[in-house]
Amino acid sequence: MPKVTVRYWAAAKAAAGLAEEPYDADTLAEALAAVRTRHPGELAHVLRRCSFLVDGDPVGTRGHETVRLAEGGTVEVLPPFAGG
C-alpha cells in the first residue's frame, strides 16, 4: 500500500491542527476515509467543501475511489477561500 503525504491548506490546516501527515492508502477515497477517522470533528466537515490535487493534478469531478495514489505521492487538501 503506498505511503502518501496529505497536505492541508487554509481552513483544512486549521481544522487538522497541522500542515501535513502521512497515510497509507491505495486511492484518494481510502486516504480521505483515514483522514476522517483520525480527525472526526471540524476537519471532516471542511473536507466536504474541499477540492484536491494528487501529485499536482486536479481531481475535479472524478470519483475519489478511481484516483490511484503512488508511493511517495502527495494529496493537497484545498478548501475554498475568498478571492480564490
**Residue that has been written with the C-alpha cell 476537519 in this structure:** 43
Distance CA 82, CA 84 (A): 5
Whether residue 82 has pLDDT greater than 70: no
SS3 label, residue 34: helix
Q: What pTM, to 2 d.p., does this model score?
A: 0.93
Rama region for 56: left / alpha / beta (φ>0; ψ in -120 to 50; rest): left
pLDDT tens column, 10-53: 999 999 999 999 999 999 999 999 999 999 999 999 999 999 99
Distance CA 66, CA 46 (A): 22
20: part of which helix (H) or strand (E)? strand 20-24
